[in-house]
Structure 1
């Protein structure tokens, strides 16, 4: 491996090791508790992320080895299921717009027992903060996954002047540095973004923690099997049917 590859590996694994240690020490327990309580009450996990943080929501919702009672909220929903023209999705600043929150909420139809897990490295964009505020207004708990180093150094874009970390009930630091990149090329060109890797690890730690908590309480965790193994589709559809149209699954 090149020196750069080794350096990036070190930057990544050191953060994953730190997250694993934090999880072992119980730092993720408040988030696991909220998700477990929601599922036990018949609620689902509403996962949301914009930009590259969409990958976090996909890691939480609708994947093999993941929890079945989950829903992936995405900005594209306002065009696929809402009133907006598809052209709105070509606007790179859409994630900063808090005005789409009400339609996203209506499309997703959260229930009173649902819990929101929202990821944003910066934690300041209008749609992200607006969704967190909307959830809190409706009595739904919010778990944030964000970079504390980054979010404290940038200006909030939501009219409230708040950051995601200032709205959420539980905040999980993804340990990404300011600007997200961990290496420098020619002294000032940042490369080696790490937040997607740490966020995916956090998503899996939460899923594992909730599954263990449910099993420890004497119930069978509702976990997806891979659709590409025999019986996977039958297993998954049978459990999905228990939640009706609350789980939105599409290509």
Structure 2
């Protein structure tokens, strides 16, 4: 078996993108509808992912071309804003356990109209599942991005025995295989994860559909400009002021 190559990964990425695009369009439309409805009700998007799934949250919240009424929740918030010692960030317990979710919820203090968008390739770690439970317990719409294949093949770590998808109003499959990696290696095993690429695709598709809905209803979408173009900061600061105290922008 030949070793993986850059061309092999490009081919695998194209295949994954085609798969997700052809199978998830209905879910993307439903997710966009939930978000557009939340924005119309003065809600914002609460986005969260741990590990590499944080990249998805970064696609949704706080980037050029994205929606201003969006907040990125991060595990490190328990240190930055919650007073926990920095040592708690070492290891995997913060992600795999459930305790941190309650503090993240308290720090986020979501508005009743907010919509949650949570990403986890495995969909079984305690923190993200517990945050999903809190969101649904408090009446928030929930959009989930996960790997259908991977989450079905591993045991939940949440004490309820439930997976992230079990709480969702909309489940989007990122198309990643079990283990995420797509290229077989000559010596065995696989390399090169694909979920970040397909999750970013889903995130930007959702944003595009939200913007279309806002414009078709006669509104002006609150969209970030790049801070590195003339007038970007002024534009963004003006829009962010409308959501003061509800969105956090950290380095």
* The two structures share one fold, judged by TM-score above 0.5: yes
Give the secondary-structure state (helix, strand or coil) at the position aligned to 1:62: coil
Partner of 1:11: 12
Give the secondary-structure state (helix, strand or coil) at the position aligned to 2:5: helix
Q: Which runs of 5+ in 2 are unaligned?
A: none
Superposition deviation, residue 94 in structure 1: 1.5
Superposition deviation, residue 91 in structure 1: 2.4
> Is the CA contact (8 Å cut-off) linking 1:22 and 1:28 kept in structure 2?
no
Task: Tell me, in whole angstroms, the C-alpha distance in 2 between the residues paired with 1:22 and 1:232.
Answer: 36
- Alignment of 1:29 with 2:29, yes or no, is yes
Superposition deviation, residue 187 in structure 1: 4.7
Q: Map 1:68-87 onto structure 2 (within 5 A).
A: 68-87=68-87
Task: Tell me, in whole angstroms, the C-alpha distance in 1 between the residues paired with 2:187 and 2:250.
Answer: 43
Per-residue Cα deviation, 1:144-190 (whole angstroms, up to 9, x for no partner): 00000000010000001000011111100000000001111125221
> Is the CA contact (8 Å cut-off) linking 2:27 and 2:170 kept in structure 1?
no
> Is the CA contact (8 Å cut-off) linking 2:61 and 2:67 kept in structure 1?
yes
Superposition deviation, residue 31 in structure 1: 0.6
Partner of 1:156: 156
RMSD value, Cα: 1.3
Return the TM-score normalized by structure 1: 0.96
Partner of 2:66: 66
Give the secondary-structure state (helix, strand or coil) at the position aligned to 1:160: coil
Partner of 2:118: 118
Task: Tell me, in whole angstroms, the C-alpha distance in 2 between the residues paired with 1:205 and 1:149.
Answer: 22
Give the secondary-structure state (helix, strand or coil) at the position aligned to 2:79: helix
Per-residue Cα deviation, 1:48-92 (whole angstroms, up to 9, x for no partner): 000010111011100000000000000000000003111101122
CA spacing shift, 1:22–1:216, aligned 2, 3 Å? farther
CA spacing shift, 1:31–1:202, aligned 2, 3 Å? same
Moved over 3 A (4+): none
Task: Tell me, in whole angstroms, the C-alpha distance in 1 between the residues paired with 2:192 and 2:223.
Answer: 33
> Is the CA contact (8 Å cut-off) linking 2:4 and 2:184 kept in structure 1?
no
- Alignment of 1:142 with 2:136, yes or no, is no
Q: Map 1:171-190 onto structure 2 (within 5 A).
A: 171-190=171-190
Superposition deviation, residue 26 in structure 1: 3.1
> Is the CA contact (8 Å cut-off) linking 1:142 and 1:170 kept in structure 2?
yes
Aligned length: 249
Give the secondary-structure state (helix, strand or coil) at the position aligned to 2:154: coil
Per-residue Cα deviation, 1:8-35 (whole angstroms, up to 9, x for no partner): 1111111212323345x53311111111
Return the TM-score normalized by structure 2: 0.96
Task: Tell me, in whole angstroms, the C-alpha distance in 2 between the residues paired with 1:149 and 1:159.
Answer: 21
**1 or 2 for the larger relative contact order (CA 8 Å, sep ≥6)?**
2
Task: Tell me, in whole angstroms, the C-alpha distance in 2 between the residues paired with 1:26 and 1:143.
Answer: 13
Q: Which runs of 5+ in 1 are unaligned?
A: none
Superposition deviation, residue 112 in structure 1: 0.6
> Is the CA contact (8 Å cut-off) linking 2:144 and 2:170 kept in structure 1?
yes
